[in-house]
Amino acid sequence: MSIALQTLWHERTRYASGVLAVTFSAVLIALQCGLLLGLFKITSIPIDNTSADVWVGSNKVESVDLGRPIPASYLSRVAGRAGITSVESYVAAFASFAKPAGGTEMCFLLGSSLDYDAAGAAKVLSREQLDMLTMPNAIIVDESDVKRLGVTEEKKAKINGKEVLVVGTVNGLKSLAAPWVFCSVHTARHLLGFMLPPDHITYLLAKCDTPDRARELAAELKAEYGDDMAVYTAEQFSTGSRVYWLFRTKAGIAIGYAALLGLLVGAVITAQTLYSATAANAKEFAILLALGIPRWRISAMVLAQSFWVGVVGIALAYPVCLGLKYGARQVGADVDLRWEVLVGTAVITVGMALAAGFFALRSVRQIEPMNLLR
The string of pLDDT tens digits covering residues 32-66 is: 788 878 877 888 999 999 999 999 999 989 999 99
Query: What whole-number distance in Å separates Cα of residue 188 and Cα of residue 196?
Result: 9
Query: What whole-number distance in Å separates Cα of residue 102 and Cα of residue 11?
Result: 66
Partners of residue 86 on adjacent β-strands: 207
Cβ-contact 279, 271 below 8 angstroms: no
Q: What angle do CA 352, 353, 355 make, to 5 degrees?
A: 65
Summarize pLDDT for 208-259 with one digit per residue, the tens.
999 999 999 999 999 999 889 999 999 999 999 988 887 777 767 777 777 6
Q: How far from 105 is each of 8, 50, 147, 177, 180, CA to CA, in Å? A: 58, 25, 12, 10, 12
| 305, pLDDT greater than 70 | yes
Helix axes 234-247, 12-41, angle to 10 degrees: 120
Cβ-contact 181, 110 below 8 angstroms: yes
Q: How confident is the model at residue 260 (pLDDT cuts 50, 70, 90)?
A: confident
Query: What whole-number distance in Å separates Cα of residue 177 and Cα of residue 329?
Result: 19
Q: Whole-prediction pTM value?
A: 0.78
Mean pLDDT, the chain, whole residue set: 84
| 372, pLDDT greater than 50 | no
Other C-beta atoms closer than 10 Å to the C-beta of 343 total 10
Q: How far from 293 is each of 211, 275, 300, CA to CA, in Å? A: 62, 21, 12
Q: How confident is the model at residue 366 (pLDDT cuts 50, 70, 90)?
A: low
What is the per-residue burial (b if ≥16 Cβ within 10 Å, else e) of 172-187?
A: ebbbbebbbbbbbbbb
Query: What whole-number distance in Å separates Cα of residue 314 and Cα of residue 351?
Result: 12
Other C-beta atoms closer than 10 Å to the C-beta of 73 total 10
Cβ-contact 52, 122 below 8 angstroms: no
What pLDDT score does 363 carry? 65
Q: What angle do CA 66, 69, 73 make, to 5 degrees?
A: 140
Summarize pLDDT for 263-286 with one digit per residue, the tens.
677 667 766 766 676 666 666 666
Q: What is the percent of the chain with per-residue pLDDT over 90, rounded to a whole number?
A: 44
